[in-house]
Structure 1
Amino acid sequence: MNPADEYGETEGGGPDGGRSRWARVPAAPMFRSLRNRNFRLFTAGALVSNTGTWMQRVAQDWLILELSHNDGTALGITTGLQFLPMLLFGLWGGVIADRYSKRRVLVLAQVAMGLLALVLGLLAVTGGARLWHVYLLAFGLGVATVVENPARQTFVVEIVGRTDLPNAIALGGACFNIARVLGPAVAGLLIAVIGTGPVFLVNAASYAAVLAALASMRTGELRSADPVPRGKGQLREGLAYVRARRELVTVLLLLGLVATFGMNFAVTIPLIAKEVFHTGASSFGLASTMLAAGSLAGALVAARRARPTRRLMLGAAALFGVLEMAVSLMPWYWLFLVLLVPTGAAVLTFTTTANSTMQLDVDPAMRGRVMALYTLVFLGTNPLGAPLIGRLSELLGPRSAMTLGGAVSALAPLLVAALMLPGTVPGPTAPAPDPAAPRPPTGRGRFRR
């Protein structure tokens, strides 16, 4: 098989009277979504803003340690407060994304985030920052994220359309990981030279890039779905919609298992680096960079695929689990670092494929609520998994805890495959109808499940 090609299972048209057959789907240009002017603007703004966000994460942690006299509990409280709104109100963010113009929702959310960063920056620069200020602003940022996240994810399909959606999601992942490398490095330099306060101000200014991009878009080229009229029971309607779709439930189940047990690098990598290999902070930073570099490579490879397949999603999850187990068993630190690169590539391939699968499988009117549930499962499992893996690290050692997480991730695809209809092979994603495209007269020729 040519690695540049992708094979998918299609329905109809074969000599077997409409039974499944394998069709060859050539790989598409890696940067094809960037031919879209609106997407170029959106990506450029996101790169600037994401870099600022990663800068603020580093500066916020540093400020908390300064204010609390190196109290790790204060760091945990801040993280918890920033995530708490997602647990409490996350699904309502999807209702908002379906009910209103996603572009306008994004503008309001970006303004709110920028103002929160500005307030924190002014407090830090003037010396008036207190721990409760950081806690309150972190909670406010979490509320803004509840609204912003589903609107941003579902706005991408309105920019590029369904055909280029997988490519756009992959390039978005690449943009995120570039910022993930640049942001902390720039923040570290700025903190050393001018202190933490100005870093928050730089992040506040970075939101102007997204606002400028949104304002400069050609609205006539957007493929906007009709807003869902205001009504009762829309949240329950979204949950019932997902519950009735086996293909969506299985994606969420797989994502939940892998995110809960496998994607706990913030816990496992520093513990192994410090307790097993006895390295310092600089070496731990190098490990994070290697993981981010692998994720960037995985995003670029995923960008060449014309469309996601469930076979790819299951395979990437299993490969990630196997690689994570291998990473946990490395006898030397340099081998530990080397294996983090393909591990990052595998997990990014899995998450981008799962994201594309969810968005292509749903009705446009439900996309916001479905992606809000996706985000809740993706992010909501971390507060459960991280303490669990941390506790297992204390009882069994960090190597064993990471091995266990990898084993669950490797076995989870087998469980998901068993829940699919018997006698079928996981095939390409069944796309939902595009409101801007004519509907086919029959269901033949569409991709299975």
Structure 2
Amino acid sequence: MFFVGNGISLIGTWMQRLAMSWLVYRLTGSAFWLGVAEFASQFSAFLLMPFAGVILDHSDLRRSLLITQFLGFLQAFLLSVYTFSGNINLYQVLLFSVFLGLINAFDLPGRQTFVVRLIDRREDLANAIALNSTLFNAARLIGPSVAGLAVASIGEAGCFFLNSLSFIPIIMVLFHLNILPEKRAKTSQPFRKDFFDGLRYSYRHGVIGPILIFLALISFIGMSFVVLLPVIAKENLGRGSETFGFLMGASGLGALLGALYLASLKDLKGSMGIIPLSFGLFGFGLIFFAWTPYLWISLGIMAFNGFWMILGWSVSNTIIQSIVDDEKRGRVMSFFLMAFMGMVPLGSLLLGSLSQSFGPNVALTISGGSCFLASIFFRLYQSANLRKS
């Protein structure tokens, strides 16, 4: 039931994400302000997320998620009211984006950690993560596709209101769900010591540390490509919000197929090589996407990129969740999400500025080429470590 409620909530979240991007672009007509809006949402989460991990390790996880779901409902509902009034401006959108980022700082690592509480056997972990990724990407496929049509018919305010309703099922599920007893971190240490213990553990670990650093780099130079999709839809393809939604949906379809492929794998031993392979091909796809003027080719490339992006992310997630100490899980998952998602706001500012100066095609080419080169260097690092061992 948790996965069903979570899936419904995620569909609404992806609808809101697309609608907010389109609202900002409608208000400003600027790729730079799209980057600023993404920055406002994600950077607040980036700053708070590592500290949120400490709190989650010491808290009742179910209660924490109930609080974040209620706050998510409140944020979406108020945003719909302000937008429907017709008086909303860019700065109010940015404030709502910051509020959403603060919620996500607790919600995202909380959801990742909660998945582990739902399984009885550690050998089921990979399938549980794959199922969670499947739902996430099914929502990523459905949400933007529906939102693209909904923005054209009921406006951004309608999308925000539908998102507020999507939180109700997951709130009801969390109220009634029974989970395995939690193994919480000891509370005798000061907050600051707990935080730095988790930080040292994460980045000194021979496997976790290199993955986190690589993901942070890929996040910064590559994952922020989403911020330019409204510009690509309008300027490269000559289309509107529906096409923006279809591009997001195509990426979600590819990611869904990637998650299903991961779920079909019986053994992830020796899977470290999948990580640089996935993000290298993702970067390669971005370069081609930057220069195609044809919608169907663009949709195919977005699906290709979605497949490899989620495969690299899910394998990284599974490897880390399989080896991390339970008492440090909340902190490590907050660093994981900070690395993979928290660097996106900084990358959004960079990509928005590059697009403003040189155009979206050049900006995406730089982004994709950098991902490709970073993946080659990470693979060489892995090979060197294998030879040493």
Q: TM-score, normalising length from structure 2? A: 0.85
Q: In the alignment, what sits opposite 2:165?
A: 205
Q: What's 2:262 paired with? A: 302
Contact 2:255/2:308 (CA < 8 Å) preserved in 1? yes
The offset of 1:273, in angstroms, is 5.2
Residue 101 of structure 2 is aligned to residue 139 of structure 1: no
When structure 1 is superposed on structure 2, of 231-240 and 137-146 the one drifting more is: 137-146
Contact 1:63–1:196 (CA under 8 A) maintained in structure 2: yes
Alignment match, 2:137: 177
Residue in structure 2 matched with residue 107 of structure 1 by the alignment: 66
Q: Which whole-Å deviations, capped at 9, do the CAs of 1:9-56 have from their partners, x for residues lacking one?
A: xxxxxxxxxxxxxxxxxxxxxxxxxxxxxxxx1110011111111222
User: 2-side partners of 1:413 and 1:72: how far apart?
Assistant: 27
Structure 1 partner of 2:334: 372
The SS at the match of 1:164 is: helix
Q: Which amino acid letter does the alignment assign opposite residue 226 of structure 1?
A: R
**Separation in 2, partners of 1:193, 1:396:** 34
- 1:291-330 CA deviation, whole Å, 9 max, x = no partner? 2211111111111123542122232223323333444465
Alignment partner for residue 7 of structure 2, among 47, 69, 79? 47
* CA shift digits 1:335-364 (9 cap, x unpaired): 343233222211110011111122222111
- Residues 48 and 286 of structure 1: is their aligned pair in 2 closer, same or farther, counting only changes over 3 Å? closer
User: Is this contact kept in 1: 2:254–2:302, CA < 8 A?
Assistant: yes
Amino acid in structure 2 at the alignment position of 1:323: G
The share of aligned pairs that are identical, in percent, is 31
Contact 2:218-2:374 within 8 A present in 1 as well? yes
From 229, 235, 249, the equivalent of 2:187 is 229
Cα distance in structure 2, aligned partners of 1:330 and 1:154: 40
Residues 246-293 of structure 1 show CA distances to partners (whole Å, capped at 9, x for unaligned) of 211210122122222222332455555555x44322444433332221
| Counterpart check, 1:251 vs 2:211 | yes
Measure the CA separation in 2 of the matches of 1:359 and 1:172: 13
Any idea what the Cα deviations from partners look like across 1:190-225, whole Å, max 9, x if unmatched?
Answer: 455555444433322221111122223233xx2532
Segment drifting more, 177-186 vs 152-161: 177-186
Indicate yes or no: 2:304 matched with 1:342: yes
Contact 2:148 / 2:243 at 8 angstroms: preserved in 1?
A: no
One-letter identity of the residue aligned with 1:316 = S
Which of 324, 329, 349 matches 1:362? 324
- Residue 303 of structure 2 aligns to which amino acid in structure 1? V
Q: Distance in 2 between matches of 1:389 and 1:188?
A: 23
Secondary structure of 1:226 counterpart? coil
Q: Please, what TM-score do these two structures have when normalized by structure 1?
A: 0.75
**Alpha-carbon distance in 2 for matches of 1:246, 1:211:** 38
> 1:344/1:130 Cα in 2 relative to 1: closer, same or farther (>3 Å)?
closer
Structure 1, 344-353 or 185-194: larger mean CA deviation = 185-194
2:114 counterpart residue number: 155
Q: Alpha carbons of 1:290 and 1:146: their partners in 2 closer, same or farther (altered >3 Å)? A: same
Contact 1:255 1:377 in 2 (8 A): yes
Distance 1:200 1:411, change over 3 A: closer
SS of 2:67's equivalent? helix
Displacement of 1:106 in angstroms is 0.6
- Aligned partner of residue 231 in structure 1, secondary structure: coil
Amino acid at match of 1:351: W
What is the aligned partner in structure 2 of residue 408 from structure 1?
A: 370
Is the Cα contact below 8 Å between 2:62 and 2:174 reproduced in 1?
yes
Contact 2:39 2:349 survives alignment (8 Å) = no
| Residue 37 (structure 1) aligns with | none
Q: 1:420 to 1:395 in 2, by over 3 A?
A: same
Deviates most, 199-208 or 322-331: 322-331
After superposition, give the CA deviation of every residue in 1:90-149 in whole Å (9 maximum; x if it has no partner): 211110111112111111111111122233334445566565544433322221111111
Aligned to 2:177: 217
- Are 1:324 and 2:286 an aligned pair? yes
Q: Which has the higher helix share?
A: 2
The total of aligned residue pairs comes to 383
Report if aligned partners of 2:35, 2:345 keep a CA contact under 8 Å in 1: no
Once the two structures are overlaid, the 10-residue window that deviates more, 155-164 or 380-389, is 380-389
Aligned partners of 1:93 and 1:146 also within 8 Å: yes
Deviation at 1:180, TM superposition (A): 2.2
Q: Structure 2: any 5+ residue segments left out of the alignment? A: none
Q: Secondary structure at the match of 1:85?
A: helix
Task: Give the whole-Å Cα distance in 1 for the aligned partners of 2:141 and 2:105.
Answer: 25
Give the structure 2 partner of residue 241 of structure 1. Answer: 201
- Residue equivalent to 1:291: 251
Q: In 1, distance between residues paired with 2:98 and 2:349?
A: 21
